[in-house]
Amino acid sequence: MSIATFAAVDLGASSGRVMSARVGPGTLDLTEVRRFPNRPVRVAGTLHWDILGLYGNILDGLRAAPRDLVSVGIDSWAVDYGLLDETGALLGNPVHYRDSRTDGVMDRVRAELGDEILYQTSGLQFLPFNTVYQLLAADLDQARTLLLVPDLLAYWLTGEIGAERTNASTTGLLDVREGNWSRTLLDRLGLPRDLLPDLREPGDVIGTLRPDVATETGLSLPVTAVGSHDTASAVAAVPAAGDRFGYISCGTWSLVGVELPLPVLTAQSREANFTNERGIDGTVRYLRNVMGLWLLQECLRAWDSPDLGDLLAAAADVPPLRSVIDADDPAFLPPGDMPARIAEHCRLRGTPIPETRAEIVRCVLDSLALAHRAALRQAAELSGRPVEVVHLVGGGSRNELLCRLTADACGLPVVAGPVEATALGNVLVQARSHGSIGSLADMRSLIARTQELRRYEPSGDERAWSEAAARVGLS
């Protein structure tokens, strides 16, 4: 096995990047080629993704990437999609999952079909923005093909149509046991069977860059399917040894859970709203979505982007666990004035209202740590998988206060990093497919040996955390 160079296109909800990485035995060097903002745009009342802007930035990134690239892979947030007409043209801009068009849809479907069939078929947690509920709110008249965001971008780059399985598992339409589209569910919902393209696995070569793209970027290379759901790529890059670990993929969302060989579909699991998403090599990501750094990002946006380092330093000095909220209150899901919504949440529940910015930030981080604790404990309990260490990966691993509070709240060591877990998982799956690395365990051990990690030992007052958890109705 020799050293080779791969590119990762990694799109998050607030920014995107094109990274390149040199991968080989004992080598994993990641370089940022291009970073760009991902700004949703409201048009005629509907919140959209600026998909052409993102695609243009990807082309710019590929143009600036090393010339010896072997392959490129694409991942993004899940659930969102573009619709193609019969000529293969995109029908309108993809709608943002935080748009209000899905209001009430999930409740209606659950009432009509019942939770049992939905959960037994897809294994997915009930989130109002799952693709299935979006589709029921969309106009499908002219639509012939649905492509999830990374599949849409891969289509523009290669001309090849398909649906990568890890991301397909977030639609609510993939059969969790068989890994194929569920015809039963499509029929029950009255959705057209042929809207969904053939499935592909992470590691499959999708195709080579179209001639016009090759001319524009000066590159001629394959696009390789990766864990195109960003969380699948991030969890593939958790630097864990063995299987007694929990993970928190912490960015706009915190995805909190354990990795399993098989789904958990019990009534308790359904009631606790745990999801069984598909990972690399058929693994199951058994997790729950926690509202994540979205709470903080929306506060910063409302305050016109003050210096985060200063705010976190001030928040560290605020007395702990004074104001705690249920971070997962659906009221926090849409964009808008977050400090006002936090104040209102506290007022309605008789919780002391955080007044200063530092107090608000402390309230958010204490509350996230509590939500991390509850989700991890439940994941371990419902799956029977013991958790001895928590790996916190993604942008949130830079936030020392959050890492420390999470270790204290969970009463477990937290290993923080890598920050760019998603891009690393993306390139390593390509590297494996092109013969530069071996198994998933090899990938993880390479990350543990080469990337910067930080360990936080729990030092908190367990009683204070239990008491605060009880105050917001968590365990």
Catalytic residues: 230
Contact 159, 207 (CB under 8 A): yes
Report the residue count for the chain.
475
Q: Does residue 283 belong to the site contacting ligand LFR (CB under 6 A)?
A: no
Please report the beta strands in 394-437, taking only residues with DSSP state E, as ranges in sequence order.
414-416
What does the alpha-carbon distance between residue 189 and residue 387 come to, in Å, rounded to a whole number?
38
Task: Lay out the site mask for ligand LFR across 9-38 (x = CB under 6 A, - = otherwise).
Answer: ----x-------------------------
Q: Considering beta carbons, is residue 79 or 427 the nearer one to ligand LFR? A: 79
Torsion of CA 166, 170, 174, 179, to 10 degrees: 20
Decide whether 324 or 419 has the Cβ nearer to ligand LFR.
Answer: 419
151 touching ligand LFR, by CB under 6 A: no
* DSSP class per residue in 303-367: TT---HHHHHHHHHTSPTTSS---TT-GGGSSSS-HHHHHHHHHHHHTPPPP-SHHHHHHHHHHH
Among 135, 176, 255, 437, binds ligand LFR (CB under 6 A): 255
Out of 182, 233, 289, 351, the residue judged to bind ligand LFR by CB under 6 A: 289
Least spacing, CB of residue 15 vs ligand LFR, in Å: 11
Whose tokens are 């012939």? That residue is 144
Token pair, residue 26, equals: 């004992």
Residues in contact with ligand LFR, total (CB under 6 A)? 13
CB of 454 to ligand LFR, least distance (A): 22
231 binds ligand LFR (CB under 6 A): yes
Residue 268 CB neighbour total at 10 angstroms: 11
Q: Which is nearer to ligand LFR, 279 or 354 (CB)?
A: 279
* Nearer residue to ligand LFR within complex by CB, 351 or 422: 422
Q: Is 169 in the site for ligand LFR (CB under 6 A)?
A: no
Residues 329-388 touching ligand LFR, rule: CB under 6 A, are: none
Contact window for ligand LFR (CB under 6 A) among 75-83, 212-220, 240-248, 310-318? 75-83
| Alpha helices (H) along 80-195 | 105-113, 115-122, 131-136, 149-158, 165-168, 183-189
Is 78 among the residues that bind ligand LFR (CB under 6 A)? yes
CA–CA–CA angle 21, 24, 25 (5° rounding): 140
- Minimum CB separation of residue 232 from ligand LFR in Å reads 8
Please give the Cα distance from 343 to 365 (Å, whole number).
Answer: 15
Interatomic CA distance for residues 307 and 240, integer angstroms: 33
- Smaller CB separation from ligand LFR, 245 or 253: 253
Cβ 428 vs Cβ 224: under 8 Å: no
Q: Is 209 in the site for ligand LFR (CB under 6 A)?
A: no
Distance CA 413, CA 428 (A): 26
Q: In angstroms, what is the minimal distance from the CB of 221 to ligand LFR?
A: 26
Q: Residue 427 to residues 156, 268, 283: CA-CA distances in angstroms?
A: 20, 36, 18
Span 81-100, contacts to ligand LFR by CB under 6 A: 97
Q: Least separation, in Å, of the C-beta of 168 and ligand LFR? A: 13
Identity of the residue, 19 or 219, whose beta carbon is nearer to ligand LFR in the bound complex: 19
Query: x/- binding map, residues 233-252, to ligand LFR, per CB under 6 A?
Result: ------------------xx
Least Å from the CB of residue 458 to ligand LFR: 26
Least distance between ligand LFR and beta carbon 343 (Å): 26
Residue from 160, 209, 272 nearest 7 by CA: 209
Q: Which of 99, 164, 230, 408 binds ligand LFR (CB under 6 A)?
A: 230
- Is residue 77 near ligand LFR by the rule CB under 6 A? yes
Asked if 253 is part of the footprint of ligand LFR (rule: CB under 6 A), the reply reads yes
69 binds ligand LFR (CB under 6 A): no
| Closest separation in Å from C-beta 345 to ligand LFR | 22
The DSSP secondary structure of 431-452, one letter per residue, reads: HHHTTS---HHHHHHHHHHHS-
The secondary element (H helix, E strand) that includes residue 51 is: helix 51-64
Contacts with ligand LFR by CB under 6 A lie at 13, 77-79, 97, 229-231, 251-253, 255, 289
